Amino acid sequence: MTTSTFSRKPFRLPFGIAFLIWLGLLAVLLAIGFYSAIRVFIDGLVITNLSDSVPWGLWITIDLSSIALGAGAFTLSAIVYIFGIKRLQPIIRLAVLVGFTGYSSAMVTLLMDIGRPDRFWHPWVFWNVHSVLWEVTMAITIYLMVLIIEFAPVIVEAKIFDRWPKIRVLGHFPHKFTPFLAVLGMLISLVHQSSLGATYGVIKSRPIWFKPSMPIMFVLSAIAAGPAVTVAVAYVVEWILGKRTVPHDVLRIITRFSGVGLLAYGYIKFWDLAAVTYYGSTSGVNSAFSLLQQQTPYSFSFWVGEVILGILVPAILFLVPRFNKNPAAAVVGAFSAMLGIIIHRWNVTVGGLFVPLSYSPGTTYELPIGSYFPALIEWGIGILVIGYALTVLTLAVRFLPLFEKQEH
- Helix 178-201 × helix 213-241 angle, to 10°: 130
What confidence score (pLDDT) does residue 11 get?
Answer: 45
Could you please report the per-residue DSSP string of 180-191? HHHHHHHHHHHH
Element (H, E) at 249: helix 248-274
In a domain, 374, yes or no: yes
Q: Phi, psi (5° rounding) for residue 177?
A: -105, 15
In a domain, 292, yes or no: yes
Rg (CA), the chain: 23
What confidence score (pLDDT) does residue 367 get?
Answer: 63
Q: Which residues contact 116 (CB under 8 A, 6 or more apart)?
A: none
In a domain, 407, yes or no: no
In a domain, 28, yes or no: no
What confidence score (pLDDT) does residue 277 get?
Answer: 60
Question: What 3-state DSSP class applies to 31?
Answer: helix
In a domain, 27, yes or no: no
Q: Using CA atoms, how far apart are residues 66 and 62, in angstroms rounded to an integer? A: 6
What confidence score (pLDDT) does residue 408 get?
Answer: 38
In a domain, 24, yes or no: no
Total domain count for the chain? Answer: 1
**Domain extent at residue 351:** 37-399
In a domain, 23, yes or no: no
In a domain, 273, yes or no: yes
Q: Using CA atoms, how far apart are residues 134 and 114, in angstroms rounded to an integer? A: 13
The closest of 108, 104, 188 to 148, measured between CA atoms, is: 104
B/e letters for 226-253, b = 16+ CB within 10 Å, e = fewer, are bbbbbbbbbbbbbeeeeeebbeeebbbb
pLDDT in tens, the chain (408 residues): 444 444 455 545 556 788 999 999 999 999 999 999 999 999 999 999 998 888 899 999 999 999 999 988 888 988 888 777 888 889 999 999 999 999 999 999 999 998 888 888 999 999 988 888 888 889 899 999 999 988 888 888 888 888 888 888 887 787 778 788 888 888 888 888 888 888 876 666 666 777 778 888 999 999 999 999 999 999 999 999 888 889 999 999 999 999 999 999 999 998 888 766 655 566 667 777 777 888 888 889 999 999 999 999 999 999 999 999 999 999 999 999 999 999 999 998 888 788 877 654 555 556 677 789 999 999 999 999 999 999 999 999 998 988 855 443
Q: Using CA atoms, how far apart are residues 56 and 67, in angstroms rounded to an integer? A: 16
Are 50 and 371 spatial neighbours (Cβ–Cβ below 8 Å)?
no
What confidence score (pLDDT) does residue 161 get?
Answer: 83
What confidence score (pLDDT) does residue 84 get?
Answer: 79
CATH code, domain carrying 188: 1.20.1630.10
**What pTM was computed for the model?**
0.89
Nearest 5 degrees, angle CA 96-CA 26-CA 395? 35
Assign residue 242 a region: left if phi > 0, alpha if psi is -120 to 50, beta otherwise? left
B/e letters for 178-201, b = 16+ CB within 10 Å, e = fewer, are beebbebbbebbbbbbbbbbbbbb
Q: Using CA atoms, how far apart are residues 99 and 148, in angstroms rounded to an integer? A: 10
276 to each of 67, 109, 210, 296, 308, how far by Cα in Å? Answer: 27, 32, 10, 19, 20
User: What's the gap between Cα 337 and its chain centre?
Assistant: 12
Are 172 and 408 spatial neighbours (Cβ–Cβ below 8 Å)?
no
